Amino acid sequence: MFPPVALLGLGLGLPPHVLSQEEAALLTARIFGDRLAGFPQFERVFANTGIARRHCARPADWYAVPHGWSDRMAAYRQAASALFVQAATAALADADVDPAGIDCVVVSSSSGFAVPSLEGQLAEAMGFRSDGERVPLFGLGCAGGVAGLATAARLAAAPGRTVLFVTMELCSLAFRQDDGSRANLVATALFGDGAAACVLRGGADERAFAVIDGAGQHLFPQSQEIMGWRIDDGGFGIVLSAALPHFLQTHLRPALARLLGQCGTEEERIGRFICHPGGTRVLAALEEVLQLETGSLDHERAVLADHGNMSAPTVLFVLDRARRAGLPDRAALLALGPGFAANLITMRRGPR
C-alpha cells in the first residue's frame, strides 16, 4: 500500500501497418514453407487465437526477408520513438498537463534497446525539463504495463509530484525466420505492436479518472522457463511454454490472495479485474482462477481481437475500454510476465 496516486490521463499509440490474421497466416506459411509439416496444428493455432488483426512496426514485406541485430534495433528505435511520442502526447492531452510539468518519466520496454534510452533521446522534442528524473525499465515483458505503472505510482506518491509512464513494445521485430519451433510459430500468431502512456500525480485531484492505492508482485519459484527471451546472434527468440494456462490454474489462486494482501484489500471488494489478455487460453484460465463466468473478460477479448497481444501496453488498452464503459468503485489490474511473475494494482474510481 502507498498514499493515493491520481491517474490523470491515458493515451494509446499504434504503428501504421495493419495485418489481418489471415494475412499473417499466409505470410507465415510462405516464409516457413515445408517446415510447417512438423507443426500440423499451424492453421488451427492462427484460427483459434481470437485475433482479427494487429498493428506492426513495419510493412509485411519487411518480415519476409532476413534481418540481424542492426536492422532490428534500427527499426525498434525508429518505431518505438514514434510510438512514445504518440502515446505520451495523447496521455498529456487527456490529463491537460504540460510536458514541462512532468517531474519523472518511467519507460518500460523489453523488445529493443536504445542508449541513451528513448525518454532521454526524446526529452527536448517532447518539451520535458532538463532536471526531470528518468527511469528506464527492461525485462518485465508482458507484465511491464502493470509493474511499470506500479513503479511510476510509487515515484508519484509524494503530493504534487507528476510522473509520466510510457510502455511500448515492438514484438513483431522479434520475428525469426530461422526458428521453426512451436513457440516461435505460436508467437507469430499472437503478438502485435503498440504503446500506452499514463500521467500520474500524488495526492487528490478532481481530474483523476482513477486513484491507485496499492500494488503487489509475486515471483513464482522455479518458473523462469515459462516466458522470456532467448538471446543469440540472430536477435531475440521467444520462450513461451505451452504449460502456461495450466500453471495459472494451479498456482495463481494462492498467489492472488497474497497480492491482494500486499494491496491491503480483499477480493470481494474488487468490482472488475482488468487483465492482460495473453491469449484466449490464458483468458479462459484467468476466468477460472478469478471465478468468473466464461466471457466475463469481454474488454480483454475485444482488445485481443483488434490488436493481438502487444505485450506490456495491452492491459492499458483494456483499462481504456473499461474506463470508457464506466469503472466500478474498485478495480484491479492484473498482468503476468517473465520471471515468472504476477503483478497487481488496485484502484478506485476517480471523480472524473
Which residues are known catalytic residues? 142
Q: Do residues 299 and 287 touch, judged by C-beta distance below 8 A? A: no
CB atoms within 10 A of CB 126: 18
Tell me whether strands 235-240 and 133-137 are parallel, antiparallel or unpaired.
unpaired
In this structure, is the dihedral angle defined by the CA atoms of residues 200, 202, 207 and 212, taken in order, positive or negative?
positive
Tell me whether strands 104-108 and 162-170 are parallel, antiparallel or unpaired.
parallel
H or E, element range at 217: strand 210-219
Length of the chain: 352
CB atoms within 10 A of CB 207: 17
Cα–Cα distance, 194 to 80 (Å, whole number): 9
Task: Report how many helices (DSSP H) and strands (DSSP E) the chain contains, helices first.
Answer: 11, 13
Cα–Cα distance, 333 to 138 (Å, whole number): 20
Using CA atoms, how far residue 172 sits from 9, 67, 341, in Å, is 27, 12, 23
